[in-house]
Structures are given as structure tokens and as C-alpha cells.
Amino acid sequence: MDHPIFAKWPAQYPDRLQLFSAPTPNGVKVGIMLEETGLPYEPHRIDIMANESHDPAFLALNPNGKIPAIYDPDGPGGKPLALFESGAILIYLADKTGLLISPDPATRFETIQWVMWQMGGVGPMFGQLGFFHKFAGREYEDKRPRDRYAAESARLLGVLDARLADRSWVMGDDYSLADISLLGWVRNLIGFYEAAEIVGFDRFAHVQRWLEAGLARPAVQRGLVVTAT
């Protein structure tokens, strides 16, 4: 394996898919997906607090300098594939395995629609709320940014709650990559970000039920800690 990433993070099992990640809401998506699909893989923890995601070796894999990223030695046509952006990776792994996404074209694109909703809305808004509610932003005297992101996060939770009102999972009876894309973010919002009260999480009974069911899945529990140490 001659990709520059392996100069710093050598592969002990070069025939397996290589995961480069950290236990963040975006990072755990791919760990959960890999555990759910059963694909053989080798995890590598990227210490984002030590700025390892901006190491030249990692930037050779993902020029955007963000986790997660993968290197699949058995990509399309049997050729290696390096891939970043968690949503793209989820779709790739679903297509590679034929799991967690419907083969029906209409249902497939509806599933992808919800993944894009998470990528464009839930992730950025929840992340900003975390910054302004728990981290450096909490020291800002002007609380308008915090309140803006709290209100938008609550609105997004309302959208998800309505979607789940008459179904077990985002896509209905079948658990899918749409659920995988969201579980870590909702978990983080009320856990690590400590924002349950500010968004009124108790109002969203359907989201609460869905989150409990998702976190109870053994593959989810394993995926959440793939790169924790």
C-alpha cells in the first residue's frame, strides 16, 4: 500500500478497508456503518485535538483535513479508493454491501435525501449550538448566536419528530443509513453538548423513542467506540 497515509498510520491488515476517524458525531457514523454491514476493516484513531487531521499524511487522504476518511484497497473495479465526507462514505458502503439502503430507486433517493438533510442541517446546527452552549462561545456576552442555533436545532428536532410519528425508523420499518447518519448527532446534542434543556428535548417523544432503539443496537454500541482509544 503506497498511499502517503500509511507512512504515519501503517496498515497491519492491508487487505481490509482502512478507517481513519475519531469518536465525533461524524466519525462514529462510519464506525457504526461498518459494524452494521460486517465489512472487515482496520480502524486508525486520528487525534483531532493534536491536530493530526492536518498532518500532511492525512491531508493526502482528505485535503479538507476532517475526519472521517477511508481507504478501500478493494474499491470499484478492484482498484483502491480513497474517500472522505461521512455522507459519501455511508452511501459508498451501502452500495458496496447492498445493505441499509433500498434497491428501489425512489426509496433510495428518499433515503439519501435524509442523509443530505443531516449533513446540511442537523450536523452544522447542532455543532454550532455545542460551541455556543458548552465550549468557548458560552463566554460570549451576546447570547443571540446561541439562541439562534438553539431555535434552529429545536426546529430540526421537530422535523425529525414529525417524520418518526408513524414509523419506527426514518425510512419506515427498515433501519437504514439515514438513521445511522443521525444517531450520533442527536446523542451528542443531549449528551456531550448538554443541550437537552435549551432545545426542549422532552417535547420530542418520537425522537426519544427512536434514539433509545438505535442506541440499543449492538452494532451501534460497537461503532460508537471504534476509535475511542
| Overall domain count for the chain | 2
Given a cut of 80, whether residue 58 has pLDDT beyond it is yes
Interval 151-178 mean pLDDT? 98
pLDDT at 154: 98
Q: At what angle do helices 144-163 and 177-190 cross, to 10 degrees?
A: 140
pLDDT in tens, 200-217: 999 999 999 999 999 999
| 139 pLDDT higher than 90 | no
Both 91 and 116 in one domain: the answer is: no
Average pLDDT over the chain reads 97
Identify the pLDDT of residue 82.
97
pLDDT above 80: residue 150? yes
Last residue of a domain, one of 100, 125, 150: 100
Note down the domain range covering 79: 5-100
**What's the confidence (pLDDT) of residue 224?**
97
Whole-number Å distance between alpha carbons of 79 and 168:
38
121 shares a domain with 83: no
Q: Which of 100, 125, 144 is the last residue of a domain?
A: 100
Q: Round to whole Å and give the CA distance between 44 and 21.
A: 6
Q: Which of 75, 100, 125 is the last residue of a domain?
A: 100
